[in-house]
Amino acid sequence: MEKITFEQVKQGVTNWYSIAQDTTLVDYLYQHPLRFEIASTVYDQLVDEKHLKLYFGYKEKTINKKETMNNIVGQFFLIIIPDSLDKEENYKGDQLPKDVFCFPAVPYGPIGSDEISSKEAEKRRSSWKNAKRRKRTLEKFKSAPLIFQIPRTNLTAVSQINHLYFGLVNKNILKRDFQYDLIVEQLSEGKEKQASAFFDTARPVPPFKPTIMDNGLYNYLKLVQN
């Protein structure tokens, strides 16, 4: 978890919105294996929330390909905002609304199928590694923001850390209609850590229109397209 100011949130989300229009640049980031490590304190502090909004930001105005992989990935970050707080009227002055959490992306090494027991989880993560498939999905949704909504209960208090991975899921086998997915991996404590993945709980925007985000952060930053 990383401390962040409201100004950094606004600038980072706006930066990412601009960067996301360049699919080649975005895919340069996505080709590096990355994940977000979510502390269980989020679960504890947001116990009364049913859903959470997940926004993405980038610290710099563009992705500098001359930087190291660690630096490029480290500029990418995730913002978790309680659904009940993500209202335009709560974004006032220079103050960040309470109970807003920031987690930087971290690179991770190659993984095997035994890290998550579910074959479906591995299938979706493998789809994300398919450059052509990932690029086609980027092209299809490049005009829409990358936002997710997930049930708070998926960030369980059972483990100290939850891992969030990007994936692609095929919603129509006949048409091979892939869309973004966010896979939650819960690690149980013990001598042998066990993991389980949760599916179809993250609601992605895209493909859903930004209007489902009500009058939240994107509205405040005037990034919602009609």
Q: How far apart are CA 152 and CA 99, in angstroms?
A: 13
In the chain, what are the domain boundaries? 6-220
Task: Report the alpha-carbon distance of residue 208 to residue 60 in Å, rounded.
Answer: 27
The tens-digit pLDDT sequence of the chain (226 residues) is: 678 889 999 999 999 999 998 989 999 999 888 889 887 778 778 888 888 889 999 999 999 988 888 889 999 999 999 888 888 888 877 778 778 889 999 887 544 332 334 677 888 888 999 999 888 888 877 766 677 777 776 666 556 677 888 888 887 666 777 888 888 777 665 544 554 544 445 555 555 554 445 567 877 787 765 5
**Element holding 174 (H helix, E strand):** none
Phi, psi angle pair for 26, to nearest 5°: -65, -40
Q: Tell me the C-alpha distance between 222 and 131, whole Å.
A: 31
184 and 202 Cβ atoms separated by less than 8 Å: yes
Q: pTM of the predicted model, to two decimals?
A: 0.62
